[in-house]
Structure 1
Amino acid sequence: MTVRAMRIAAVAAVAATVLGSASATAAGTAVKWAECAPELNAPRGTGCAQLDVPLDYADPAGKQLTLTLSAAGSLDAPNVLVVNPGGPGESGIGTPKLVQSSLPPELGSQYLIVSFDPRGVGASSPVTCGDTSGLLPAPMPPSEPANADQEQQRVAVASKIAGACAEHSAALLPHITTQNAARDMDRIRTALGKDKLDYLGYSYGTKLGATYATMFPGSTGRMVLDSVVDPTIGGYQAGFEQDPALQHRAEQFFAWVAAHDDKYHLGTTGDAVGSAWTDTRGKLDAEPAEGKVGSAELDQMLASAMYVDTSWGTLADAVSRYRAGDAGALSSAAGQLALQSVNGPQLAYNCADDKWPTDWQTWHADTVKAAKDAPLFAWLNTWYSAPCAFWKAPTAPPLQIGSGNVPPVLLVQAKDDSATPLVGAQRMQQAMQGSRMVLSDGGNHGQFLFDENTCVDEPVTQYLRTGKLPAADVKCPAPPAPGA
């Protein structure tokens, strides 16, 4: 679960765009925009295009991959803003319409918004692991193994997932890395006829953006990195960095539920709600809700809800109804918030970007240690990444983010973000010298445009409009907490 789906993918777009469905080529570009294929399910008003890039950049004239791009806005806009919604493994097809419809007018007229399915994702030569439905029973075994046999059963599942991905995507896996995705973005920049890449990246998109800026500093334009991935550690360490941040955010959630005890009836203090939660996990272990939602699924739902507080009410209400005898509400919530299938593209990026321990005893010892401070999340987080212990593809060469003449960028972060903890943003600011940070006192993952925080949005808008960073870091209050 090192990186989950970005919150912006769940926000509905409401405004029309002016990018026509008829074929059009903007002056000075090699990109021909046309109506999106129906199977892409692109929002109305989105244009799509394709661009070939090398499978292997060591052999640029060899086999090619086809990237699918999408855009919203006016082809006559003077600038282009490339956006990545996070992931890794998340499609960008719907992102331009969502972002364009949320921009303030002064930016909406300035930028054509472009995104793309990164290599190995969605409509861009996707990684597939075949039919893995039989590998994920419903319900899943408890996140924390009760004994060695139960742990080895989960380890065996992780190994089988890695093997299935290798079996079905062996030729792709060595080339699905963030460094190659950054090279693809530079091809996109060139195809769009731009000397500089203006960029907005959320979550994993901050890693992609920082990688691009490090590899192509001379082509880096205005760059906003929102909800920042730690550039100093690999994926294995990042999971353990997340664990205590998730636990802290869960404590905030329990306190919020307690403040609304008149609706949820789970306890009048955070500790009481936490006890009710532990009791609920035990009941689900003994008898899964509707035969398919056990404690592992409840753990997944809790982790997902920690990304953005607008989902807190859904989860609290579902647990409240379950404890009152309505198991259907919990089953419905699991359909929204729990892991449903193997995400091959996400695993491909995570497992190939960094070296992972191959000795399971290392994973076991580190997870047991982490569980002392983060009992609700340590084992869950480990299982999300466990296939990387058995991944059958080489890892990308090391890249030190910020090395070389990297230009300063604008970082956006929430203090209590549990998916990308604050320490990562602080380390990114150190790595990319001269960068500024807009810091919200809240905890939601994904700030600019989607957290309804004017204090955050204004300096980012000003930077994208003028190219001038704030004179100093900006500190902002948290937006109001959601109602029950």
Structure 2
Amino acid sequence: MALAVALLAATPASAATFRSCREAGVIECARITVPLDRSGEVSGEVPLHVERVRALGGRSTGAIFALAGGPGQAASPLTEGFGFTLESALDTRDLVVFDQRGTGRSGALSCLTLDGPDEGLDIGSAVAGCAQELGPRRAFYTTQDSADDIETVRRELGVERIALYGTSYGTKVALAYADRYPEHVERMVLDSVVEPDGPDPLSREALEAVPRVLRELCRRGCEGVTDDPARDVAALVARLAAGPLKGYRVDPQGRREPAELRREEVLAFLIAADFLPQVRTVFPGAVRGALAGDLAPLLRLVGAARGQAPEPEPPEAFSQALYLATICEDVSFPYDRDALPEERARQARQAVERMPDDAFFPFDRETALRIGLVELCASWPSSGRELDDVSTDDAISEAPTLLLSGEEDLRTPVESAQRTASRLPGASMLSVPSVGHSVLGVAFDLCPGRQLERFFTGGETGGRCPDELPFGPVRPPAPLSLTQVASPRGVPGRRGRTLTATALTLDDTLLTGILTAVATDDPTVIVGGGLRSGRFRLSIVRPPDGLFGQPAQVRLTLDRVGYVPGVRVSGSLRLAPNLGLNGRVRVTGSAASPARLSVRPIRDGYRLSGRVDGRTVSARVRTGGI
């Protein structure tokens, strides 16, 4: 009903012509053309695709601009989602969403060298080829240009002051606009904050936060696993400095294949887990296992964090060329932009050698060079364009600003939000425990969503949320035999250990499947191998578009999956919204008591009931939960 009222809203003075462009008629679209190069030295124009939803209260007194992440992500497919998230702000404000230049329907950039399969891609040649393909226009897709585009759209709409909402890279664009046009900013909401002069080309924001995030895990319990997970990672990285460690990974057909572990992959896993931070409870035990010679658990985590390679996204959905054009022009690199790629690499290495060791702990300099943006942009030729300096000392904006930061977020950590808040006199900052990247995307129905509503209705904001999404204690290293597994109360001996091994197998497989799904763009089916043997399939049926808050339907199928050596689990289970599994399984294997069991979720594990080695049993098996 509220959205229907938007159809009747009066139109303020506007130079842009909006027309209904969706079936419901609530969303209006316009095209606003801006110069490619506002200095006029390089000719060309960029058509900006702009969408608007009128104020829900029927009378608009302003607008809120919602900015997508990336850089490279199209915003217009997210308009309905933005409207759902920002509904508390839309009673008297229009919602404005536009595809930033070079994305979506605003002239999405594409390069033949990038828009194919990643397999076998020579990244240096692909980056250089993309720059050559784009030519001189590659210099004009920076954050500064996007901020100036916002100003053009604001003027076209005839709105004097605007609110800004951004997540991840969208926060950097919002801050750039506020820095350049502070008089036109009403207020800002910044979720998962990229600093105004970020990201760091060596990923030092993430590296700085790693020890805190790892040690925070032990506040939930590391007993019997480790005294200091950060120190364990440092020990593993020291071994990996001599070269990759060799082990195996089980493929989606259930076959073991050789695999190697590299230090940059360990950091890549930790950063990927920003979107599923509870998976990090497995990480300290996997590191301890690797230090003891069992690489399989850590290799499996690293592989799952890469996701499955889907068909490449079309540039209209996510433009890799735009990502390069923005990052490689925006970022301040530790080398001379006019130098050749080989010289850039040498200069970057020299700069890193001058930095203190603790800037990279528990990783090292080589990890930072390999996982950061230095290698990615080394082959991007200098455009010669000088961007306006980003001030690192002055206040950016006096406007009221709510910053939201997940305490488990490494790519845009709490420390980055704190530094940014110090430059916003009107800022209130909210930190959220047990949440990683994109706070409102994960916890909109909880404390962060309530704070967002208060921010737009004049209430007090900031502080620290209660832990409303707690996850369990750190898990021990994966067992190397059934004798290392404890029995649940009431079912002693091998029968009981078989029950516990079954529950551990379910947890491990589900967590691996979900991590792979989170790391995969728009997954519908995830297939993978068990830790020691077997294979699994995770099928995901999503709700129809527009049913916000409705969970996907997920089914997990196991085919002789082995987590504990000698114990294999097969069956089909349904995933409940609370991440509990319901279904039936069959247990076989040389070490196991043969069993047929029904599975029901409990708070921190499963109730397993059925026949085990000819006897009827029922037991609560606690695994810590997911």
**TM more than 0.5:** yes
Q: 1:102 is matched with which residue?
A: 85
Q: Residue by residue, what CA displacement relative to the aligned partner does 1:434-465 show, whole Å, maximum 9, x if unpaired?
A: 43323334442222464247443334322323
Q: Secondary structure at the match of 1:390?
A: coil
Which of 238, 258, 274 is the equivalent residue of 1:306?
274
Q: Residue by residue, what CA displacement relative to the aligned partner does 1:224-258 show, whole Å, maximum 9, x if unpaired?
A: 22222223x45445622222324543565698797
Q: So what's the TM-score if we normalise by structure 2?
A: 0.57
For the structure 1 residues 330 and 234, does the alpha-carbon distance in structure 2 shift closer, same or farther, using more than 3 Å as the test?
closer
- Residues 1:57 and 2:38 are matched in the alignment: yes
- Residues 1:400 and 2:391 are matched in the alignment: yes
User: Does the CA-based 8 Å contact 1:438-1:473 persist in structure 2?
Assistant: yes
The within-5 A match list for 1:305-384 is 305-309=273-277, 334-335=306-307, 343-358=320-335, 359-364=344-349, 369=357, 373-375=361-363, 379=367, 382-384=370-372
Q: 2:74 is matched with which residue?
A: 91
Which of 464, 467, 474 is the equivalent residue of 1:475?
464
User: Does the CA-based 8 Å contact 1:230-1:428 persist in structure 2?
Assistant: yes
For the structure 1 residues 86 and 133, does the alpha-carbon distance in structure 2 shift closer, same or farther, using more than 3 Å as the test?
closer
Q: 2:104 is matched with which residue?
A: 122
Give 1:83 shift: 0.9
Give 1:364 shift: 3.3
Amino acid at match of 1:58: S
Which of 165, 183, 192 is the equivalent residue of 1:218?
183
For the structure 1 residues 441 and 365, does the alpha-carbon distance in structure 2 shift closer, same or farther, using more than 3 Å as the test?
farther
Structure 2 Cα separation of the partners of residues 301 and 463 of structure 1: 34
For the structure 1 residues 328 and 340, does the alpha-carbon distance in structure 2 shift closer, same or farther, using more than 3 Å as the test?
farther
Amino acid at match of 2:274: M
For the structure 1 residues 173 and 336, does the alpha-carbon distance in structure 2 shift closer, same or farther, using more than 3 Å as the test?
same
Q: 1:465 is matched with which residue?
A: 457
Amino acid at match of 2:329: A
Which of 157, 162, 172 is the equivalent residue of 1:192?
157
Bigger Rg, structure 1 or 2: 2
User: Does the CA-based 8 Å contact 1:225-1:410 persist in structure 2?
Assistant: yes
User: Does the CA-based 8 Å contact 1:53-1:65 persist in structure 2?
Assistant: yes
Amino acid at match of 2:70: G
Q: Residue by residue, what CA displacement relative to the aligned partner does 1:178-197 show, whole Å, maximum 9, x if unpaired?
A: 11100101112122221111
Q: Secondary structure at the match of 1:223?
A: strand
The within-5 A match list for 1:16-165 is 18=4, 26-29=11-14, 30-35=16-21, 47-59=28-40, 63-72=44-53, 76=58, 78=60, 79-103=62-86, 106-132=88-114, 136-137=118-119, 157-165=122-130
User: Does the CA-based 8 Å contact 1:87-1:203 persist in structure 2?
Assistant: yes
After superposing the two structures, state which structure 1 stretch, 250-259 or 424-433, moved more: 250-259
Which of 171, 176, 200 is the equivalent residue of 1:206?
171
User: Does the CA-based 8 Å contact 1:245-1:418 persist in structure 2?
Assistant: yes
Give 1:198 shift: 1.1
Q: Residue by residue, what CA displacement relative to the aligned partner does 1:35-80 show, whole Å, maximum 9, x if unpaired?
A: 269xxxxx99755432211111113995210112234565745242
User: Does the CA-based 8 Å contact 2:433-2:466 persist in structure 1?
Assistant: yes
Amino acid at match of 1:164: G
For the structure 1 residues 301 and 439, does the alpha-carbon distance in structure 2 shift closer, same or farther, using more than 3 Å as the test?
closer
Structure 2 Cα separation of the partners of residues 339 and 367 of structure 1: 37
For the structure 1 residues 33 and 246, does the alpha-carbon distance in structure 2 shift closer, same or farther, using more than 3 Å as the test?
farther
Q: Number of residue pairs matched? A: 433
Q: Cα RMSD (Å) of the superposition?
A: 4.9
Structure 2 Cα separation of the partners of residues 411 and 388 of structure 1: 33
Higher relative contact order (CA 8 A, sep 6+): 1
Q: 1:426 is matched with which residue?
A: 418
Q: 1:6 is matched with which residue?
A: none
The within-5 A match list for 1:243-322 is 243-246=207-210, 248-249=212-213, 271=229, 285-287=246-248, 290=251, 295=261, 300-309=268-277
For the structure 1 residues 352 and 94, does the alpha-carbon distance in structure 2 shift closer, same or farther, using more than 3 Å as the test?
same
Flag structure 1 segments of 5+ consecutive residues without an equivalent: 1-14, 38-42, 141-156, 262-266
Q: Secondary structure at the match of 1:352?
A: helix
User: Does the CA-based 8 Å contact 1:354-1:396 persist in structure 2?
Assistant: no
User: Does the CA-based 8 Å contact 1:161-1:387 persist in structure 2?
Assistant: no
Bigger share in strand: 2
Give 1:127 shift: 2.7
For the structure 1 residues 96 and 250, does the alpha-carbon distance in structure 2 shift closer, same or farther, using more than 3 Å as the test?
farther
For the structure 1 residues 324 and 171, does the alpha-carbon distance in structure 2 shift closer, same or farther, using more than 3 Å as the test?
closer
After superposing the two structures, state which structure 1 stretch, 413-422 or 368-377, moved more: 368-377
Amino acid at match of 1:240: R
Give 1:92 shift: 1.0
Flag structure 2 segments of 5+ consecutive residues without an equivalent: 252-256, 314-318, 336-343, 472-624
Q: 2:577 is matched with which residue?
A: none
Amino acid at match of 1:249: V
Q: So what's the TM-score if we normalise by structure 1?
A: 0.71
Structure 1 Cα separation of the partners of residues 20 and 204 of structure 2: 44
- Residues 1:175 and 2:140 are matched in the alignment: yes
Amino acid at match of 2:455: Y
After superposing the two structures, state which structure 1 stretch, 24-33 or 81-90, moved more: 24-33
Structure 2 Cα separation of the partners of residues 439 and 272 of structure 1: 22
For the structure 1 residues 192 and 404, does the alpha-carbon distance in structure 2 shift closer, same or farther, using more than 3 Å as the test?
same
Q: Secondary structure at the match of 2:113?
A: coil
Structure 2 Cα separation of the partners of residues 34 and 313 of structure 1: 48
For the structure 1 residues 375 and 315, does the alpha-carbon distance in structure 2 shift closer, same or farther, using more than 3 Å as the test?
closer
For the structure 1 residues 198 and 190, does the alpha-carbon distance in structure 2 shift closer, same or farther, using more than 3 Å as the test?
same
